[in-house]
Each structure stands twice: as structure tokens, then as C-alpha cells.
């Protein structure tokens, strides 16, 4: 059969990696796909010294690739929302299949893109947009298709996990580790996307959509970063038998879908708690399968290329059978997405770790526990630290309660005369049922 | 579109679970698959009290299902080699697609089955045959299709892992835990298949085939069970920073493919070392993606049903597009399987844990280390236990060496006058590169 022609747009880290993997493993990939896969053209503003393109045609105008009549599959690896969106829509309107690693693009413009793809009878694949090389989109969309999914929780930002791992293992402070991560190239000069959870929220939005059959709704995601986590919180969590991880969590409830990214205490014995450094992992709980976990590198040139190329092979395997619509892009058929609402954060329910500083005098703890009790919040554990100072840190673990109730209780506690400063609140999940 | 009709053969644990999941999640599954999936007929020698079949037609002759003209997909869940093989071949010859959870059948008769399927233009899917509900066949066959896979290592028998976990956590003996596992229903009355590694070797044979593009070769697998592991080995491994897991390992080498099931020391910090109880996990190392891990329940009614039903959805999604041959059953196109040999165990290379009992007198240790040195075997660590007795246990960790070389060295050590009984040998893997 004649080869399939691929056009790669963007020759940065992932673009270079994709070219290199396609070249190095060309024979083995063709043995799997049933056809040779040829990079026919590259669209890139500049060359990549880490990628010898062996004379492959390079254009500085990426839109040339999207309209090139010789090309079957356009691989979008330029990143960002605007140009990437135009590029992908142009490719689709020109009858090209599209493979992308762009989480922001899918989370924000995915609904529109998939509609255009259906109209034009082409495939749009995006495995690499979530958790790099881990085939977790495929696992949820195809591997767990028997299940009514209860919840999923993932470490889906390597930078954040590297920082939290270093803080725990070496007792270091956030700012200190962030500076090192930037020096190592794990964190961007502007770390906001990673550290404040926006990158994770993009990925979580995609995972929630394919798990629960709802449209992509990035604007409904609650996002809280890790920049306020202190070395002492990490230490207290440890004393309580927990580790702090920056999780994306989505859960089906009676009233809607929870969709939230925030630092989370989870029991230290769980596999998820032991995913360290820049590694990613996603845990999925289905009603039939129970709990499953998918682990691997969430970023990097070749891990991400692994997912991009797997998507290309998927497209090729479908092309061979003239089967453009086999797996719906969001797991559920496009006219079968549900209007189940995404819950506002105030309506989600979880347990809480609270750290507060109180003036050391009798009755303060009683005032705090009374406020919690009056709000119907049960206490699971209390640590009150001995200290020579005028103020004492108090750490509380609560049972599950609605976020709004906890907001009210925290406001009341902060209003007490003997409480100094603000209450630190970190959510706690057992991830058991 | 008209519903797809499924016939379930075998209504035991997995058959009942499959029926229940298809019924309970019927709406959600149809939203994913694009068509309703109806169980049209059940073939079973007896009813299953855990499964209310709501008046579904039941026949006592499973071959009626395989030839029923109304049925599109035959689900084989009777187990065993002989009748199951006849049933599957009959279904294929009658133009039915087949979904099976039968690892023994695929490992032993798979090559013939897939050939017949190709001839008859039908699909045969077997996700449930390896690691229960974990979609690891899909992950390797499709999710990692960009990679040249270096090796894989899996905890793929829950019974064995439960026993080793109990031995480690509670210092118990093998026989004691096995008896409990039998009482709990985790182990069969005849535990040979699980405990001696035959079940794991079936699964490993399948994983190796889809990872490396070789035909199924169960007869070439090396199989060693866990019945000789003692509580003291578990304890010594711990002292050395390792845990003992019963692993199926397959590795690509210059000379061929390693294919082996045996107890293995692995570093205690690895995620794989922390997969406990009846849970399963498979680690896969690909040249592009690096190390990935897939974790979940490896057995049980609904976890296994999760994989069976996912395969049914896959078939339905292909049917909708009249695409019978999208993904080749063994990952690589059927005329692209390679004749790379499976290595005999003597040619595989690994590190070793050795435990031996020596008469306590000067020079014994020197004699042992001389034999190892003469065979070119480097020692990584030695523990010599203090004891009040006449014999002392000596524990050695070696560097990597060919199995044949180690066999020769062990024979020479056992021939020493001052060595009592046999040398215990457990293989060690770092699973790093």
C-alpha cells in the first residue's frame, strides 16, 4: 500500500522528538501500522539543532502544510491557542486528519474542533495533550468503555510534582525548589501555567470530558496552585500519614461533576502518593474495574512524541480500513454528550487539613472546635504543637463536608480575637470509594 | 442503527459479571459504542445465582451460540484449552467476532486462531486474558505503537502477589499464607497454575508477542514458582533494600527475546515493588516513552468483565465502520511477525541473590568468593549472619551474569565440603534501563 504522508508543524522539543522517533523506528512502526509513514513536509519558523531532518522539505509558513494536497495527516506541535486553532481548522477544512499535543487548544477550542472534524469526516487525535507518553486518553476512551466512571485523580503536571517531591524529601521551601526547577529546565521562566495549576486544569478538563461524556468546559474548572504550600505543611501532613500532591480531581456526584485542581493530602501508602519527581500518574475509579492507575513521563521530547506517533498510527490503521469515525473524539458519540452540570467549587465535598496559629491561652481550642461543631464539621485529628513562642500552630483534619460550609467555618474562625492571620486550608482525599 | 447481538458462552464468575455490567451500564455503553449491545443468548451448563438473566434465552449447548445466525459477537468465557478452542474456531468459521478472557487458549492456540480470524475476516479480542481489568493489551498494542520496546515486567498473578505480600508484611511462611488464600477464595484448591507460574507464563507469552512482534510461543517460556521462597529470604531481601515479587519478564536482547517467570528481587522504592495484595501491574520500557506502568485488579468478576465489555465495544465501534482489521491481533501486521528467537533460560542475563549455609570455620567464604571470581562473577554485597549454631547463613548479591555461568558456579559451590544443602538462588532485576 502507498505510504501515508505526514506534515509536522512546529519543530521545537516535541516536533523534533516526533521526527526522530518516526525516523528511528520507521520499520517497526510500519510493521504495526500496515503502511509506511513518511514525513513529507515540515512547517517551522526555525530549524532545531537536535533534529537532523535529512533534507525533508521545510517551509517557514505552517499554513502551507495545512493546505498541501500531498499531505494526509497534519501534526500540530506549535502550541498556544490562536495560531494553532487557525492551523487546525484550516487542516480540517482541507480534509486533513489532525494529531495534536496541545492541551490548551483542546481544552478551550475542542468542542468546535471536533464538530468541524465530524463535518469534514476527518479524525482529530490528542493523546499527547494529557500526561505526555502515558496512553491515558486511550485507556479511558477505549480501555474502560464498559464502566460508569466514578472519579479520576491525577498528577498531571511534572513541574509541580518535582517541586512537591523536593520539598518533602529535603525539607526545602517552595521558592527555593522553584528556582532550581527553572535552572534545570523543568519549569518555565514564567512558571504560572505549571505552578498555579492552569496546565493541569487544561488536562483535567479533557480527562473529565472523556470520562463522563460532557462537553469540554475549561472555564468551569476550579484551579488552585501550590505556591502557598509551606515546608511545615508538608511536614505536618507526613506526621498525619499523608503526602501533599497537586491533583486534578473530577468526580461524578448526584448533582453534577466536580472539576478541580488543588494541592491535596492523600494517604502516604497509596501508589499515587509515591509518584515522585517529574513523573505523572492518573488514577481512575470505574464501577466495574475498580481502581486503575497509569504512570509514566508526562513531558519531554520523546515521551510526548511516543503519544503523537501512536495517534498517527491509530489514524493510519483507520485509514487502511476507510474508517474515519471509529472512536468518537470525546469517547461518547458526539450527539450523546450530556448536559450534567459541572459543580461550582462551593458545592464540592471533601475533607480538610487546616493549619492556624492561635494565641496560647486557655479556651482557644474550645472556641475553634465549637465553630466547627456548629457548622456540622466533624474533627478527625488534632495536632497542637508545643512551642516556646506566644502563638501555637494548631493542625486539624476534618471529615468530609461541603466547601461552602468550610468557607463559612473558616471565616468565623479567622474572626476570633485569638487567631493570628489566616487559616491555611488544604483539601484531603482518601480516594477510596 | 440496529443493536449488536452478543452471545455469552459460560456463565461463571466472569460470564455473570459480563452480563451484569452490560445490563447495568447499557445506556452509557451505547452512548460510547454508537449502538445498543444486547445479550441475545447465553450458553451455559448451569445457571449462576449471582446473575439474574432477566429471561435471556439460555441454552445448555454452547455450540448453539457459536452457530446462531442472529449473533454477531461470541464471548468465550468457559476457560480451558480444548472445548474453548473448538468453540472459538466454530464461531470464527461461522463469521462471528470473538471476545475471550482465556489466557491459556490464546497463549497456546492463539497463532492458529488469529490465522483463522484473518481468513474469515472477523476480529478476535482478548484484553481480559492479561491482567484482568487493566487495559494493558490496548496500551502496548496501540498506546505504545511508536516505540521499540526494550522490556516489560509484570505482576500478573494476583494469588502469588497476595502470598508474597502477606509473607513480607507479617513474616509468615508460604504454606501458611497459601492455606489462607485458599480459604479466602484467592487461590484454587489446586494452586499449581497460580503458584508455579503457569498462569503468569500464559499472560507473559501474550505480552511478549504484542510487545516484540513475535508469534505466541508459550512452550519457550521459562517458569519458576514461588513455593520455595522462605520467610527468611523475604527478610534478607528487605535488609538489602529489595522486595521479592513474582514477575513475568520479557526483554529484547541482541541474541533474542528473554521470556521468563520467576521470583525476583526488585528495589523496594520502585512503584512495582509497592503493588500489594491481589493487585496486578505491568511495567513497560519503550525507547521513546521510557518507563510506564499500568495498575489495577487482575481478576474478579467485574474487573475482568470490564475488559471483556471494552473488547465488545471495540468490536462494535469497528463494525459500525465495517472495519474488521483495524488493529492486528498481535499488534504487528500478521505477515510482519518476526522470527527473532526466544532465548533459552541459560542464555538470559540477570543479577542474583544467593543464600547458602556454610560450616562456621575460616576460609569457607574465601572458597565461595574464589569460585565466583573464577567464573567472572562480581559480588555486589555480602551478608554473613551471626549465629550460635554450627552453620551460618551467607547471603550474596551478585552483578549481572549469564544464567549458565551462575549454574556452573552454584554447582561448584554446592560441591564444597563445607556447604550444607543446596544454594537458594533468586534472580535480581534493577529494571532501570
Q: Are A145 and B310 within 8 A, CB to CB? A: yes
Of B22, B323, B336, nearest to A31 by CB-CB distance is B336
Q: Are B306 and A332 within 8 A, CB to CB? A: no
pLDDT surpassing 60 at residue A240? yes
- Most confident listed range (A318-322, A323-327, B70-74): B70-74
Of B25, B138, B318, nearest to A138 by CB-CB distance is B138
pLDDT of residue A386: 73
pLDDT surpassing 90 at residue A361? no
Which of B161, B212, B288 to mutate to probe the A interface, most A CBs <10 Å?
A: B288
Write out chain A residues lying below 8 Å of B127, CB-based: 143
Binding residues of B for NADPH: 103
Helix (H, G, I), strand (E, B) or coil at B211: helix
pLDDT surpassing 80 at residue B320? no
Tell me, what DSSP letter sits at residue B361?
A: S
Cell output for A41: 513536509
**How large is the average pLDDT for residues B395-419?**
96
Nearest C-alpha neighbor of A315 from the set A79, A152, A73, A134: A73
Q: Assign B117 a pLDDT band (cuts: 50, 70, 90).
A: very high
Domains within chain B, CATH numbers bracketed: 4-133+301-336 (3.40.50.720), 136-297 (3.30.360.10), 349-428 (3.30.70.260)
**How large is the average pLDDT for residues A45-55?**
91
Q: Which of B96, B203, B220, B245 is catalytic?
A: B203
Burial of B402 (0-12, 13-18, 19+ CB in 10 A): middle
pLDDT surpassing 80 at residue B145? yes
B147 to chain A, minimum CA–CA distance in Å?
A: 7
Active site residues of A: 203
Count of other CB atoms within 10 angstroms of residue B111: 17
Tell me, what DSSP letter sits at residue A143?
A: I
Q: Are A146 and B274 within 8 A, CB to CB? A: no
Helix (H, G, I), strand (E, B) or coil at B37: strand
Nearest C-alpha neighbor of B309 from the set B19, B10, B62: B19
pLDDT of residue B11: 97
Q: Are B275 and A275 within 8 A, CB to CB? A: no
pLDDT surpassing 60 at residue A295? yes
Among A182-191, B99-108, B309-318, B376-385, the least confident range: A182-191
Count of other CB atoms within 10 angstroms of residue B95: 12
Count of other CB atoms within 10 angstroms of residue B386: 7
Helix (H, G, I), strand (E, B) or coil at A148: coil
pLDDT of residue B361: 82
What average pLDDT does chain B have?
93
Write out chain A residues lying below 8 Å of B148, CB-based: 24-25, 28
Query: What is the per-residue pLDDT across A117-133, written as a single tens digit (0 to 9) for each?
Result: 999 999 999 999 999 99
pLDDT surpassing 80 at residue B321? no
Q: List for chain A the helix, strand, coil content (%; round to 5).
A: 40, 25, 35
Percent of chain B's residues with pLDDT above 90: 85
Residue whose C-alpha cell reads 490464546 in the numeric block = B106
* Chain A residue at shortest CA distance from B32: A332
Binding residues of B for NADP(+): 9-16
Q: Are B333 and A31 within 8 A, CB to CB? A: yes
Binding residues of A for L-homoserine: 188
Alpha-carbon dihedral sign for residues B398, B399, B403, B404 = negative
pLDDT of residue A321: 66
* Active site annotation includes B370: no
A86 to chain B, minimum CA–CA distance in Å?
A: 28
pLDDT of residue A433: 63
* Polymer length in residues for chain A: 433
Helix (H) or strand (E) holding B62: helix B62-67
Cell output for B127: 484484553
**How large is the average pLDDT for residues A408-433?**
93
Q: Assign B363 a pLDDT band (cuts: 50, 70, 90).
A: confident
Among A274-288, B72-86, B186-200, B403-417, the least confident range: B186-200
Count of other CB atoms within 10 angstroms of residue B217: 17
Q: Are B309 and A145 within 8 A, CB to CB? A: yes
The complex's ipTM?
A: 0.93
Of A22, A146, A148, nearest to B305 by CB-CB distance is A146
Amino acid at each position: 500500500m502507498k505510504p501515508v504522508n505526514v506534515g509536522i508543524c512546529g519543530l521545537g522539543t516535541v516536533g523534533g522528538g516526533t521526527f526522530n522517533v518516526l525516523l528511528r523506528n520507521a520499520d517497526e512502526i510500519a510493521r504495526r501500522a500496515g503502511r509506511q509513514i513518511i514525513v513529507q513536509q515540515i512547517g517551522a519558523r526555525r530549524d532545531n539543532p537536535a533534529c537532523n531532518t535529512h533534507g525533508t522539505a521545510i517551509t517557514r509558513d505552517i499554513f502551507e502544510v495545512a493546505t498541501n494536497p500531498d499531505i494526509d495527516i497534519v501534526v500540530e506541535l506549535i502550541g498556544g491557542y490562536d495560531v494553532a486553532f487557525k492551523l487546525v481548522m484550516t487542516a480540517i477544512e482541507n480534509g486533513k486528519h489532525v494529531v495534536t499535543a496541545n492541551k490548551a487548544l483542546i481544552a478551550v477550542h475542542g468542542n468546535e474542533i471536533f464538530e468541524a472534524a465530524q463535518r469534514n469526516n476527518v479524525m482529530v487525535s490528542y493523546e499527547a495533550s494529557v500526561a505526555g507518553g502515558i496512553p491515558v486518553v486511550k485507556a479511558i476512551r477505549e480501555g474502560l468503555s464498559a464502566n460508569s466512571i466514578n472519579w479520576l485523580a491525577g498528577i498531571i503536571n511534572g513541574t509541580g510534582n518535582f517541586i512537591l517531591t523536593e520539598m518533602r524529601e529535603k525539607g526545602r521551601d517552595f521558592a527555593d525548589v522553584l528556582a532550581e526547577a527553572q535552572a534545570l529546565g523543568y519549569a518555565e521562566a514564567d512558571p504560572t501555567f505549571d505552578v498555579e495549576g492552569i496546565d493541569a486544569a487544561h488536562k483535567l478538563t479533557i480527562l473529565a470530558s472523556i470520562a463522563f461524556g460532557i462537553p469540554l468546559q475549561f472555564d468551569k474548572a476550579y484551579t488552585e496552585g501550590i505556591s502557598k504550600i509551606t515546608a511545615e505543611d508538608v511536614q505536618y501532613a507526613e506526621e498525619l500519614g499523608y503526602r501533599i500532591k497537586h491533583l486534578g480531581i473530577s468526580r461524578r456526584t448526584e448533582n453534577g461533576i466536580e472539576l478541580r485542581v488543588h494541592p491535596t493530602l492523600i494517604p502516604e501508602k497509596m501508589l499515587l502518593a509515591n509518584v515522585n519527581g517529574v513523573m505523572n500518574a492518573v488514577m481512575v475509579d470505574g464501577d466495574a474495574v475498580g481502581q486503575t492507575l497509569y504512570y509514566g513521563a508526562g513531558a519531554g521530547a520523546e515521551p510526548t512524541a511516543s503519544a503523537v506517533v501512536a495517534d498517527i498510527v491509530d489514524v493510519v490503521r483507520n485509514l487502511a480500513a476507510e474508517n474515519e469515525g471509529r472512536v468518537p473524539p470525546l469517547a461518547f458519540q458526539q450527539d450523546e454528550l450530556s448536559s450534567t452540570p459541572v459543580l461550582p467549587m462551593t458545592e464540592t465535598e471533601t475533607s480538610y487539613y487546616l493549619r492556624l496559629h492561635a494565641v496560647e491561652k486557655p479556651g482557644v481550642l474550645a472556641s475553634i472546635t465549637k465553630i466547627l461543631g456548629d457548622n456540622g464539621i466533624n474533627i478527625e485529628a488534632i495536632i497542637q504543637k508545643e512551642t516556646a513562642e506566644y502563638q501555637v500552630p494548631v493542625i486539624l483534619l476534618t471529615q468530609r463536608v461541603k466547601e461552602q460550609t468550610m468557607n463559612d467555618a473558616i471565616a468565623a474562625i479567622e474572626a476570633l480575637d485569638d487567631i493570628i492571620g489566616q487559616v491555611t486550608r488544604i483539601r484531603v482525599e482518601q480516594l477510596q470509594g
